[in-house]
Structure 1
Amino acid sequence: MTFTIAIIVITCLVSITSFNRPEQVDKLSFWPYKVNNERQYYRYITSGFVHADFMHLFFNMFTLYFFGTIAEGYMQAYMGGKIYFVLLYVLGLVLPDVSTYFKYKDVYGYRAIGASGAVSAVLFSSVLFAPWAPIYVFFIKVWAILYAVLFLIYSAYMSKRGGDGINHDAHFWGAVLGLVFPIVMKPELAKYFLEQLTRLPF
């Protein structure tokens, strides 16, 4: 069993058993006010294992299934072990929520759930290794690097705009983490990435 499958199984079990149990979601969600006032730091991790509904869960796990397997393979081949994938996923649960914490630490009613930050990190690590790989967005084929740029612009814009109940900060910083993490761990990958960019598919 791959790490990707293991994460999906655990996330599905926790999420599905938390549906229609608001008290369980409250215990596991990322609640900046509680983190700030009661030092409940575990919420950085547990919030990534609960989702709002089946659609939210399916979208995240579907994306993780495809790109997680790819990222694991790349990290095994270019970084020396799949343990880097596990480390990336854990960091993807924690670091993207840091900006959210500072923004909402004094707002009692704000809570966030879902693995979107970690999934974004996994997806964008794949972009680093294969920037010209095709990605299908609503059945439209686009290059991974183009999708990455548009995604970052969109997430930054929606974060400033707000009002839709989605934690775009987690999406944005998860994506940045996915691009930066492999290079921090293995700096020679920066050269590899630039070489891949020069190999234009057209």
Structure 2
Amino acid sequence: MNFIQNLKHKYKTGSIIEKLIYINVTIFACTLLITLFQSLYQQEQNLIVQWFSLDDNFSEFIGKPWSIISYGFLHANFIHLIFNMITLYFVGNLFIQYFTQKQTLNFYLLGTFFGGVLFILSQSYFPLFEGRNSTLVGASAGISAIFIGISTYMPNYELKIRFIGFVKLWYLAAIWLTFDIIGLVGPNAGGSFSHLGGSLFGFLYVNQVSTKKTRFFEIISALFNTKKNNLKTVYKSANKKEDPRKSKGVHQEKIDRILDKISKSGYDTLTQTEKEFLFKQGK
């Protein structure tokens, strides 16, 4: 298997996070090649950036409406790309442990969309941007939606950071948002507005879903159905009779307690008994 075939195989078998990373890296490589080619003809404006970046002018946006999404797959330079892809890899892989692949893609795309909307609105409304012409590129709005989404879903989940120790997820989210808020008056103010747009979407969506226990349980059930768990099936004794209504009420209370524990501390904190019980109810 040669290099190209190996990449194709990894792309086909990879998770949605890996596919997003492959797409972003490939587009960046194409952008570099076009820049190199156009420089031979002394053309400054890259065609890909020109057609797929998001303009701050609403009239320009109307001429290329796809840019409200496509800008989320472009990057200004190599450092910009690397930082975003590393962040996407870590927060994205945490996200898909609790949400489906489709939901992850939706968060990325809708976070990008709402980030672009807030960018255009901010450029048109605030006097700070008068007389400026800027374009928006970068995956940060989509990544912000994923990061703030998973932080809202389980704020007390702890990540182990080298040389620091265990840090709760909501601490990291607070630092993330603080930098974006500070950046509203910096040279990349437009980018900060787009990040906050993605973050706002992630927070509002997960906050709404988490308040609906039925939907919340469906997400957990989907997690068990899409992964192979080596859990034992528990059988009831045929000699013991229980009141179905009483049993249902007790089971629902236990399910609620376990789901609350997952939302606060993560699935890995469950005991083996709790995992077995939840798996059985999910079936």
Do both proteins adopt the same fold according to a TM-score greater than 0.5, normalized to the shorter chain? Answer: yes
Instruction: Please give the per-residue CA displacement for 1:69-119, whole angstroms capped at 9, x wherever unaligned.
Output: 22112114xxxxx32112111101100121210222586721010000001
Q: What letter is aligned with 2:59?
A: N
Deviations 1:154-198 (A, max 9, x none): 322321x2224661112222222222222334533698499617x
* Corresponding position: 1:170 with 2:238: no
After superposition, the C-alpha distances for 1:122-154 in whole angstroms (9 at most, x for unaligned) are 112221233232264x96453211122232233
Counterpart residue identity of residue 113, structure 2? V
1:200: which partner in 2? none
Q: Which is higher, the Rg of structure 1 or of structure 2? A: 2
Q: Does the 8 A contact of 1:128 with 1:193 survive in 2?
A: no
CA distance in 2, matches of 1:169, 1:13: 26
Give identity over the alignment, percent: 21
How many aligned positions are there? Answer: 190
**Any gaps of 5 or more consecutive residues in structure 1?**
77-81, 198-202
SS of the aligned residue for 1:134 comes to: strand
Letter in 1 for 2:172: Y
Query: Is it true that 1:110 corresponds to 2:178 in the alignment?
Result: no
Q: Is the 8 A contact 1:74 1:129 kept in 2?
A: no
AA aligned opposite 2:77? D
TM-score (norm 1): 0.80
Q: Which runs of 5+ in 2 are unaligned?
A: 1-13, 36-45, 125-129, 217-258, 266-283
Measured in 2, the distance between the counterparts of 1:73 and 1:130 equals 12
**Equivalent residue for 2:24, pick from 11, 15, 23:** 11
Q: Give the equivalent residue in structure 1 for 2:175.
A: 150
TM-score (norm. length: structure 2): 0.59
TM-aligned CA distance change 1:17 to 1:170, over 3 Å: same
- Is contact 2:54-2:61 (8 Å) kept? no
Closer, same or farther: CA 194–148 of 1 in aligned 2, 3 Å: farther
- Counterpart Cα distance in 1 of 2:134 and 2:118: 13
When the two chains are superposed, the root-mean-square deviation of aligned CA atoms in Å is 2.9
| Higher relative contact order (Cα pairs below 8 Å, separated by 6+ residues) | 1
